[in-house]
Amino acid sequence: MMDPVVFAAIRDWGIWDQGHAARLLFALVVLLVAAVVFKVFLSRVFSQALTRAVRGRSEERQAVERRVNTLSNTLNWGFRTLLFFVAVGLTLSEFGLNVSALIASVGVVGVALGLGAQLLVRDVINGMFILIEDQYAVGDTVTVAGVTGEVIEINPRRTVVRDADGNVHSIPNSTITVATNRTAGLNRFSVTLQTPFRESDRAAALAERVCAELAADRAEAILSGPRMAEQKAGAEGLVDLIVAGDARPKMKWSVEAELRRRLKRAFEAERLEMDFVPKEPK
């Protein structure tokens, strides 16, 4: 003979199952299909937008493609998160729980959740502005919240950056007040050197010659320059010579290092006094 408790449980399940399970299963299937359709639709829309954006400008395809992938992944993440909460609400409703009353009755827990939600909303709002304004994208080298490295993931809640040592930093978007994109289109490189005033003319001519040779030898990496950008008086009878140019993304550091080496060797060969001015930390 069946245990009365087990029998009652089976009876209650049978009563609940009359329509509830079917509706719940149908709703979950609809949400799953919606997620798949949204992802496919978004992929096609962005693919067409990418084709139009880079038409006749193949050199920009990589940068535009990174932004498209970032936006696509972010919108998919947001849509899946929304569907998850909808699924939880439908499930609780089918089990007879009043979701609104449940949230209102948690009291202190509700206050804590509200404070946490404020931070989440700030993260999402700031994250959406980052994406809409194209401040940076996956693959860019950036400095955010005091961390410098390559962006490996962006979503509305956080930005994930891998630094030069391989460390991965997860940064809430609400903490990002200043974002420095070091691979946004052009990459400006500059070298400042000091030389005595009496030798400034020879030094400037020599620096120009070195710049011309570097531009010819590294044409694949340099977009413009390098050239003498500025001359200004320094301290104690010295003159500051500032050489600057634009390099292709991710080639800035190698070009700048080579420029320093060539300037050093050229000045030593000509027996001209010269010293590099350290860059101020950013």
Domain of residue 62 covers 4-105
The closest of 266, 222, 261, 265 to 244, measured between CA atoms, is 222
**pLDDT number for residue 261:** 94
112-138 tens-digit pLDDT: 555 556 777 788 788 878 877 778 877
- CA atoms of 214 and 265, how far apart (whole Å): 13
Residue 58 has pLDDT above 80, yes or no: no
CB neighbour list of residue 181: distance below 8 Å, 6 or more residues apart: 135, 136, 140, 141, 142
**Position 281 in a domain:** no
pLDDT higher than 80, residue 54: no
Angle at 18 between CA 17 and CA 19, to 5 degrees: 100
| Domain-located, residue 253 | yes
Amino acid at 106: V
Polymer length of the chain: 282
- Residues 65 and 138: their CA atoms lie apart, in Å, by 10
Q: What is the CATH number of the domain that holds 249?
A: 3.30.70.100
Residue 161 has pLDDT above 80, yes or no: yes
CB atoms closer than 10 angstroms to residue 42: 16
The alpha helices in the chain, defined as continuous H runs, are 4-17, 20-53, 61-94, 99-105, 108-132, 200-217, 252-269
> Does 197 score more than 80 pLDDT?
yes
**What are 202-249's pLDDT values in tens digits?**
999 999 999 999 999 998 888 888 888 888 887 778 899 999 998 886
**CATH number of the domain where residue 173 is located:** 2.30.30.60
Q: Do 82 and 118 fall into the same domain?
A: no
Say if CB 154 and CB 127 are below 8 A apart.
yes
Count of structural domains, the chain? 3
CA distances from 13 to 29, 96, 271 (A): 22, 13, 94
pTM of the model: 0.48
Planar angle of CA 173, 37, 95, nearest 5 degrees? 80
| Residue 282 included in any domain | no
Residue 239, in any domain of the structure: yes
Here the tokens at position 272 are 């001209």
The residue behind tokens 């009878």 is: 237
Q: How far apart are CA 166 and CA 168, in angstroms?
A: 6
